[in-house]
Amino acid sequence: MRIDVITIFPGFFSSPLECSMLGRAQQVGALTVQVHDLRNWATDKHRVVDDYPYGGGAGMVMKPEPLTLAVEDLLREAGPDCPVILLTPQGQQFDQAKAEQLAQQAQLILICGHYEGVDERVRQSVVTEELSIGDYILTGGEPAALVVIEAVARLLPGVLGNPASLHNESFASGLLEYPHYTRPVTWRGMSVPEVLLSGHHEKIRRWRYKQALRRTRERRPELLEQLELTEQARELLAEIEAECNRE
């Protein structure tokens, strides 16, 4: 997969793209990230990419010409079907399902906004999707673009050492993941649940599934409401309900 990022701070991406999973994804050839300095498409000698808002008010607005020229240049190579994604707090909430959908694409173009945001005509002319990473305001779209790149890259074939870990992770199955333990067995008076030491695979699987249901019920009950519950899930939830009533 190839991801093109349009930004006024290309340096922002240097270290994160070299580290950990993102570095590995590029080394194994699963991912290519091209970071483009928006100022390369500025149309004046001072390479200006922002201007005052019509109608007045605080802050600056990113000009339409450099952004649309940048996207059009990249689309010439990528082809017209390439998604052009504007990172904006007003976009659709980015989630695991969206990451899985984007991971199926051959190429993505990500636009990082700044200041008060981008001229509305950029959205109308070249943007195909708008994504938000949450209900809060960042100074620029760069951290949001990195979140999208990270979540998508780890889904690409050949990137994770053990792809099986993707299946149990929170949100993959619609549930939060069960709790994890490692050595030592007892630490500060707290012990690892015995079932995890039993070596009994079916009991461990059942325990983990129940913990995932319990966690989701406690922390994100709305996720449970969206699931079609299996017979076993209903049984385990009834057990959890009874246990909670006794506590």
Strand 129-132 relative to strand 107-112, pairing: unpaired
DSSP structure class, residue 53: P
How many residues bind ligand SAM (CB under 6 A)? The answer is: 19
Cβ closest to ligand SAM, residue 7 vs residue 216: 7
Residue 116 in contact with ligand SAM, rule: CB under 6 A: yes
At its nearest, how many Å lie between ligand SAM and the CB of residue 92?
Answer: 10
**Cβ within 8 Å of residue 205, ≥6 positions away:** none
SS3 for 8? coil
**DSSP of 61-80, one letter per residue?**
EE-HHHHHHHHHHHHHHH-T
Asked if 64 touches ligand SAM (CB under 6 A), the answer is: no
Cα(213)–Cα(241) distance, rounded to whole angstroms?
A: 11
Based on CB atoms, which residue is closest to ligand SAM, 138 or 224?
138
66 in contact with ligand SAM (CB under 6 A): no
Which residues in 24-43 contact ligand SAM (CB under 6 A)?
Answer: none
Choose, by CB under 6 A, the member of 20, 92, 106, 134 that binds ligand SAM.
Answer: 134
Is 136 a binder of ligand SAM (CB under 6 A)?
yes
Q: CA-to-CA distance for 178 and 63, rounded, in angstroms?
A: 47
Q: Is 87 helix (H, G, I), strand (E, B) or coil?
A: strand
Q: Out of 15, 104, 139, 232, name the contact with ligand SAM by CB under 6 A.
A: 139
Cis peptide bond N-terminal to 10, omega within 30: no
Minimum distance between the CB of residue 220 and ligand SAM, rounded to whole angstroms? 20
Interface residue list for ligand SAM (CB under 6 A):
87-90, 112-114, 116-117, 132-134, 136-141, 144
